[in-house]
Amino acid sequence: MSESKLAGQFFDAAIGLLHRVRDEEAENIAAAGEAIAATVTGGGRLFAFGAGHSSLPAQDVVYRAGGLALMNLLAIPGMVGVDVMPATLGSALERVEGLAAAVIDTSPLRRGDLLVIISLSGRNTLPVELAMNARALGITVIGVTSVAYTEGTTPRNASGTFLKDHCDIVLDSKIAVGDAELTHEGIEAPFAPASTVVTSALMQATLATAAERLVARGIEPPLLRSGNVDGGHEWNGRVMREYGDRIFYNR
C-alpha cells in the first residue's frame, strides 16, 4: 500500500505548530512553569480544567507516569470528554451562565492554588467565568488557548471577553480558527485537528519547566513513576503519602 500524502501533510502541520509554540511561547512557558513551582513551594494545590476535547490535555497531566503528582483534574459532570449522552450536552453546558461559580464554590479550590484552564476558542461562558471567579478568589490562572480565535470570532458569553483576558499567564497554541489542518479535493469540510497534539505538548513542556524550577529551589519534584516498572508502585505510594493533602484523585 502506498504512503498516504495526507498523513505526511498532517505530521508536517503538527510539527510546524510545535516549532512555533516552542519558539514563540518560550517566555510564557517559563512563566507558567515558574508559577507552578511557586505554588508547590508555597503549599498550594494544582488543578487543570478543560471542556469537551479540551479536557484531553487536562486529563493527560493528571495521575500519569512521568507527571507531577500534585496536578488534579477539576472535573465538571458532563464536561469531561464525550462520555455524556447526548455528546452535544457538553457543548450546551459550556454556555450556561453561573455554572462556573457553582463549580468553584463546591470544589477544593482556595486562595493560593493554581488553576490551568484549557479552552481552544476561549469564547464560551464556562472557561471565561471560571477564570474570572478563580482570580477573584486569589487563585493563579494559566489559560491555554488559541489567540487566533480572539481575532477571528466573537465572544459567546455575557462579559464580551475571551479566556485570555482573565488569566495571569496565557499560553497560545497557535491553532487556526476551526481547528482543522488539512483540505483535499473531493472533501468539502476541512479536517485533521491538531489542537490536542499541540496543547498536550504545551502542558508537558510547562510541567517540565516547573520540575526544573523546583530543583533550582532545592525541592525534589513530586513526580510519579510508571506502575509497570519495578518499584513504581512503592515510589508512587511514598509520593502520595508525602503530598496526600494536596492530591484529590486518590481519595
Q: What is the pLDDT along the chain (251 residues), one digit of tens a residue?
A: 567 899 999 999 999 999 999 999 999 999 999 999 999 999 999 999 998 899 999 999 999 999 999 999 998 888 877 777 888 888 888 888 999 999 999 999 999 999 999 999 999 999 999 999 999 999 999 999 999 999 999 999 999 999 999 999 999 999 999 999 999 999 999 999 999 999 999 999 999 999 999 999 999 999 999 999 999 999 999 999 999 999 999 88
HEC profile of the chain: CCCCHHHHHHHHHHHHHHHHHHHHCHHHHHHHHHHHHHHHHCCCCEEEEECECCHHHHHCCCCCCCCECCEEECCCCCCECCCCCCCHHHHHHCCCCCHHHHHHHCCCCCCCCEEEEECCCCCEHHHHHHHHHHHHCCCEEEEEECCHHHHHCCCECCCCCCHHHHCCEEEECCCCCCCCCEEECCEEEEECCCHHHHHHHHHHHHHHHHHHHHHHCCCCCCECCCCCCCCHHHHHHHHHHHCHHHCCCCC
Instruction: Cell numbers for 27, please give them.
Output: 517566555
Identify which of 141, 131, 136 has the alpha carbon closest to the alpha carbon of residue 171: 141
Classify burial at 204, counting beta carbons within 10 Å of its beta carbon; exposed 0-12, middle 13-18, buried 19 or more: middle
Q: Which residues pair with 184 in a beta bridge?
A: 187
Identify which of 140, 134, 88, 145 has the alpha carbon closest to the alpha carbon of residue 114: 140
Quick one: pLDDT at residue 163? Answer: 97
Residue 180's Cα: distance from chain center in Å? 19
Quick one: pLDDT at residue 191? Answer: 97
Please check whether residue 147 is in contact with residue 163, taking contact to mean a CB–CB distance below 8 angstroms. Answer: no
Rounded Cα distance, 173 and 166, in Å = 17
Rounded Cα distance, 178 and 192, in Å = 10
pTM reported for the whole predicted model: 0.96
Quick one: pLDDT at residue 6? Answer: 95
Identify which of 150, 101, 95, 159 has the alpha carbon closest to the alpha carbon of residue 125: 95
